[in-house]
Structures are given as C-alpha cells and as structure tokens.
Amino acid sequence: MANHAKAASSKTLGTRRRLLWRDIGIVLAAVATVTVIGACSSQTGARSPKVASSVNSSALPSTVRTSSGSGAAQPSASAPSLSSRNTDPLIIEDVKTQFWQDYSFYTESNVPVSQQALAAMDTGGEPTSPPPGTTVANQEWIVLTVASNSQEPITINDMTILKSCRKPPPGGTLFFSPSAGAGPFTVPHIYFDLDKSVSIGQYAPDVASTIPPGGNFFAKEVITLHYQEPQTLAIFVTSNQYCSFRFALTVATPNGPVIQRITDHGRPFTITSDGEMGMANPGQLSFSPYSIVYAGGTADEQHNGRFVRVNPATYHGSGDPMSYRAS
C-alpha cells in the first residue's frame, strides 16, 4: 500500500510540476545566449508523415513492413558513405529528441534563473522535449522517421553510433528533475549505452515482446521499405558522461550497401549526466561539475516538486533540497 501511495503521489506531483517549455526555453536562451535550434520538419523537403509525439505513445506505426529473420543483404565493411553518392537511399523526414522517465536537462548558462522564471516552470502541462538549446540528461528518447528514396525496395540492416564522450563540462546549469518512471516500453527500440564500447544498436523489446533483448536490432526487426514508404524508429540512449554523437544507418540497395549519416537537424545529438558518481559516497550523485543546480520534481516532493537552487558541492540527489540550498 505504501508503494502504491508513493506512486500515486509521484504521478500527481509529476502532473503538477511540469515545465512550460516554450516560455522557459526563451528565458534560458536570453539569459545564456545559447543557440536555439529552429524548428525543422524536414531535412530534404519531402512530405512528413504523422509521427508519435509522446515518448511511450502507441501511435508509432504498427503497419510498417517488418519481419523477423536475417534474410536481408549484409553490408560490407567498405560500404560508401552518403557523401560519395548523389542520391541518399533514405529521406530523413523528422527527428525528435525527447525525455524518457527523467525530465533533467542542462544549459550552458552560468547565470541564475529568476524567481519569476522558476515559478513559470511550476505550471501545468506534460513535457515531451527539453527547452530549445538545452541538453537532455541521463536518458534520451529519439524518434526518427525516414522514408525510402529508391524506386526499388531497400532494407535497413544496421545502425551504429559515432560518439565523442568525456566528463560533464565544467560550469553551466543543471535542472535535476527525476520522475517516478514512465512505465514499460510500448514499442521495440534501438538501444545504445554510451558508457559501453558496443557501437551497434541493440535490440530492446517492448513489454509484450517474446524476443530476447540484445544483438543487432535489425537482425531481429528486418525493415524493408518501398518508394516513399515511411518508417519510424525509436532510439533510446543513456550515458553517465557528456557525449556528442551521430548515427550511421547501413542500407542495402539494388546498387549495393550505403551508409547514411543521421544528425539532429545538421548538428550532433548531445546527452549529459547528473555528474560523476561520488567516489566517497558510492551510489550518490555528484553535481560538483556544474556551477548552478536546481532540484525539482520527485527530488523535491517535500515542496510539491518546485525547483529549489541547491549547492552543487554538497547536494547528492536525495533528502530535502532545502537543506542544501545554495547561499
């Protein structure tokens, strides 16, 4: 009963303390003079199909041409990159970066947020994506929609990640806002743990799947597309570091395999972490890399989830954040 009550309380709290993303994004951009990524519905000008707007939405297409097995043509290690071809086999129709289970994010600003802006962050609403110009922390859900640009059927065989990782950058502001969880995954997805050396996207099942996790996603979910046929891919990325990364899709075409790069509207994707795990206190988070830290959401249940500025040197992610208030 206690667990049920806590879950219900966390759910209510999560609804009460959600960011007013557009407004706070404008505030952060003005304060930090960070670059705001403009809206971009297509990288090629192609038509845009309906795409799921929620990280765990069942609206992800269930009628795409997929099959189980390994009958797709296998790419060679010398597959040409898209830069050496005049026509890419895939049209990149949409790319969305979204939260999953954790609403924490980072901005390069070293200027404290005003009380008025913090108050705006306590308004209602259900956030999906972080404010413009900020970086998701800890866990990132990426919804990628592609369509075939080939008159002949093509097959997606592989997705690898090209990454550059290091410790969280010194300075900046972290909004630490964990949640009680978003429930089980409702769609199979491609999984990358950037703290491991595995560069090939791993198969991660949904809650109803009978297929075991692990191994190349596209060996278990073979995706063949016909001309202008869309396909939405769900990608889940985690890290305890600061990483910038891109994806490389290997596509089997009638003219041979092609490697096509995937970016966040022309820029690398990014993800960061709460900070390094404290060596002196194993299991507790260290926020010391950041200049400014605000704790909210389920990290501040004592005060209805509102953001409180805490001392990065002493706060460790648990307890009443008011006890760790920055001077």
Tell me: the pLDDT tens digits for 271-309? 998 876 544 445 578 898 899 999 988 888 898 888 999
Average pLDDT over residues 195-201: 93
135-136, strands of its sheet edge to edge: 135-136, 105-107, 173-176, 292-295, 308-310
Share of the chain above pLDDT 90, in %: 46
Per the CB < 8 A criterion, the answer to whether 261 and 79 are in contact is no
pLDDT at 38 over 60: no
For the chain, list the strands marked E by DSSP: 66-67, 90-98, 105-107, 135-136, 139-148, 154-166, 173-176, 189-193, 202-204, 222-225, 230-238, 242-253, 256-262, 269-271, 292-295, 308-310
9: pLDDT strictly greater than 50: no
**Between 244 and 122, where is the model more confident?**
244
How many percent of the chain have pLDDT more than 70?
68
Q: Average per-residue pLDDT in the chain?
A: 75
Q: Which residues pair with 192 in a beta bridge?
A: 237
Closest CA to 144 of 195, 105, 192, 181: 192
pLDDT at position 321 over 90: yes
Residue 88, pLDDT score = 92
pLDDT at 43: 34
Query: Taking 80 as the threshold, does the pLDDT of residue 228 lie above it?
Result: yes
User: 59-73, 83-97, 111-125, 171-185: which has the minimum mean pLDDT?
Assistant: 59-73
Q: In the prediction, which pLDDT does 117 show?
A: 85
Q: Which of 4-8, 127-131, 193-197 has the lowest mean pLDDT?
A: 4-8
pLDDT bin (cut points 50, 70, 90) of residue 101 is confident
